[in-house]
Amino acid sequence: MIDGLVAHLPAIVIILPLAAAFAIPVIDVVSARLREPFIAIATVLTSSAMFLLTSRVAAGPFAYAMGGWPAALGIVLVLDKLSAVFIVMIAVGFTTVAVYSKWSVEHGRSKYYMLLFLLTGAMAGMVLTGDLFNLFVFSEIVSIAAYSIVAHEKMRDSFEAGLKYLIFGTISGIFVLLGVSLTFAATGTLNMAMLSSLTPEIPDGTRRLILVCFLVGFGLKAGIFPLHAWLPDAHSSAPAGASAVLSGVVVKTGVYSTLRLMFTVFAVATPGAGPIFPIMAWLGTLSVITGHLLAMNQSDLKRLLAYSTVAQVGYIFIGLGAASPSGLAGAAYHAFNHTFMKAALFMAAGTIVSVTGCRRIDRLNGLFERMPVTTVSLALAAVAIVGIPPFNGFMSKWTIMLGALEAGQIIPVLVIPLGTALSAVYYFRILSRMFTPVPTSALQRSRVVRRVEAPWYVLACVGLLVAACVVFGGIPGVAALPRYLTTMSDEILRGDLYVRAVVGP
């Protein structure tokens, strides 16, 4: 029985959260008392299924045929080292946010959790599916859930942000769909593994058009410059937990799709591929600069964090654009690290906002005296995201730098430390405010007069994420992750393991 379930894990991690999402409103109608236990159980089951699934990756990529239909006819789910990294990110983001939201979301809990489960299931689908059309469908589900969760607080700002997100998400969807249909018209199949041998034969002009469609479509989802304009609004207006999952995980699905398409499906790493990789590196470079510069004069804490996401996605694209072993490893490493750092930052910021009722950075003076644990967590996560060694942010940026050097791209390499210095300006400005001992009158007037922390499980969530930031920076002995990432980038660049897992030798 258990073995039977384990064999179906790839399907379970998608179906379980989706089913939970549809069950929550029904249960809420039947009996509101059952809702919270149901959410708790579904959360535990979903995250343990995800972690259990990733533990199976060591044996190499393996495919799961939905309903037993072979790859040519049905839909396959494929777990390789790359998708396992993203499954872990989804699981971490989902679990911490689900626990955190128990405290932070007071109204409309059934709707909120429904959207969160929907988001999680669809994201798992995006990173596991081996079918191009399926990828499009799941990415649309992610988007729909994301629009609604952004507008969850029902304020004017959040409606506007949700609408903006909707507009740009739709544009993104159109481009992805266009890319998918062009690919199907040119090759006659939508299975990624099969496509990888067919795509080199697509005529050059069509191939370019398809690549642009996918780059724009998923670039919009990832929030890469100059397609990032919707992102700060959406990520800063969402409820705190949703911001964490949007910035920490949802934008990474755009990164994942780009990576999967450019490397596995279109195998453009082959010589004569055209300038797609330098272009990605350039987009990343510009994102880093724009994101950091825009974050610099934000007065709103959450908006600042949102702009910082634009810059951090830029680093990831620099790594992708390098298309070298270290570059890919660095890109995945940074995406992974950013989940922890940004989720911790958004949750800590959300805690501060809901306890003090104030989002402005210049009113944070003396916060350390009031909320020591949250403040220190936020400070450590900020130091990590700035890229001070030996925290994880430094290590992944360093790997990306090595990758860009391997590819001979010197300008992105110089922009990485520049970005570090720029981000130091705004993150350290926040830190000096928080640790200034004298509280301003603004903070005194607010609800906080004594030490007020969020409940222990909220602190534990943020604390665990921050602890991960320290550990994944390479505490001696935790060397397994970088080694894993190196083999992962080898696997992606070779490509044949993935294909063989799906279509057989």
Partner 1 sequence: MMGWGPGSVAVGRVLWLPPFGASFRVDALAIVMAVLAAYLTLSAGWFAGGYLTGGARSQGRFRAWLTAFVGVCLGVVLSADWLTFLVFWELLTLVVYSLLCYSDKKAALRYCVVQIAGAGLLSVGIARLYVETGSLVMGPVPGHLAPFFVVGIGVKAGLLGLHFWLPDVHSKAPAPVSSLLSGYVVKLGAYALIRISAGPDGFILWVGGLMALYGVVFALLQHDAKRLLAYSTVSQVGYIVAAIGAGSELALAAAACHMVTHALFKGLLFLSIGAVESDFGTRDLRFLGGVGRLRPLTFASFLVGAAAIAGLPGTSGFASKVAVKYAVEGHEAINLVLMAAGAGTAISFARLAFYAFLGDTSRLADNGRMTHARPPGALALPRNVGMLMLAAATVFMGFRPGTLPAFLGVPAPPFFTSGNVVAALVTVLAGLLGFAAFKGVLYPKPKNVPDIDRLTDAMIERLALVPTVLRMAHNGSARFYAFWTVAAVIVLLCVL
Under the rule (CB under 8 A), what is the footprint of partner 1? 163-164, 167-168, 171, 175, 208-209, 211-212, 215-216, 220, 226-227, 229-230, 232-233, 274-276, 279, 290, 293-294, 296-297, 383, 386, 388-390, 394-395, 398, 401-402, 405-406, 413-414, 416-418, 420-421, 424-425, 428-429, 432, 435-437, 474, 476-477, 479, 482-483
For residue 439, the 8-state DSSP code is P
Question: Closest CB to partner 1 among 191 and 420?
Answer: 420
Pairing mode, strands 62-65 and 76-79: antiparallel
Question: What Å distances lie between residue 220 and 338, 378, 476, CA to CA?
Answer: 18, 28, 38
Question: Closest CB to partner 1 among 184 and 435?
Answer: 435
Could you give the CA distance from residue 498 to residue 79 in angstroms, rounded to a whole number? 9
Query: Is the dihedral angle over the CA atoms 499, 500, 504, 505 positive or is it negative?
Result: positive
Question: Closest CB to partner 1 among 120 and 337?
Answer: 337
Which one, of 232, 238, 244, 319, lies nearest residue 283 by Cα?
A: 319
Question: Closest CB to partner 1 among 175 and 336?
Answer: 175
Which one, of 239, 236, 237, lies nearest residue 103 by Cα?
A: 239
Instruction: State the DSSP H helix or E strand holding residue 77, giving kind and residue range, or none if neither.
Output: strand 76-79
Length of the chain: 505
State the minimum distance, in angstroms, from the CB of residue 245 to partner 1: 23
Question: Closest CB to partner 1 among 241 and 330?
Answer: 330
Could you give the CA distance from residue 412 to residue 415 in angstroms, rounded to a whole number? 5
CB 472, CB 481: distance < 8 Å = yes
The total of other beta-carbon atoms located within 10 Å of residue 483's CB is 10
Rg (alpha carbons) of the chain, rounded to whole number: 22
Question: Closest CB to partner 1 among 180 and 386?
Answer: 386
State the minimum distance, in angstroms, from the CB of residue 425 to partner 1: 5
Could you give the CA distance from residue 253 to residue 159 in angstroms, rounded to a whole number? 24
State the minimum distance, in angstroms, from the CB of residue 490 to partner 1: 14
Question: Closest CB to partner 1 among 52 and 163?
Answer: 163
State the minimum distance, in angstroms, from the CB of residue 124 to partner 1: 28
Question: Closest CB to partner 1 among 64 and 317?
Answer: 317
SS3 string, 280-304, reads HHHHHHHHHHHHHHHHHCCCEHHHH
State the minimum distance, in angstroms, from the CB of residue 338 to partner 1: 18
State the minimum distance, in angstroms, from the CB of residue 14 to partner 1: 30
The total of other beta-carbon atoms located within 10 Å of residue 5's CB is 11
Question: Closest CB to partner 1 among 271 and 477?
Answer: 477
Could you give the CA distance from residue 345 to residue 275 in angstroms, rounded to a whole number? 36
3-state secondary structure of 62: strand
State the minimum distance, in angstroms, from the CB of residue 184 to partner 1: 21
CB 329, CB 336: distance < 8 Å = no
State the minimum distance, in angstroms, from the CB of residue 255 to partner 1: 17
State the minimum distance, in angstroms, from the CB of residue 362 to partner 1: 13
State the minimum distance, in angstroms, from the CB of residue 242 to partner 1: 20
Question: Closest CB to partner 1 among 208 and 445?
Answer: 208
- In degrees and rounded to multiples of 5, residue 449 shows phi and psi of -120, -30
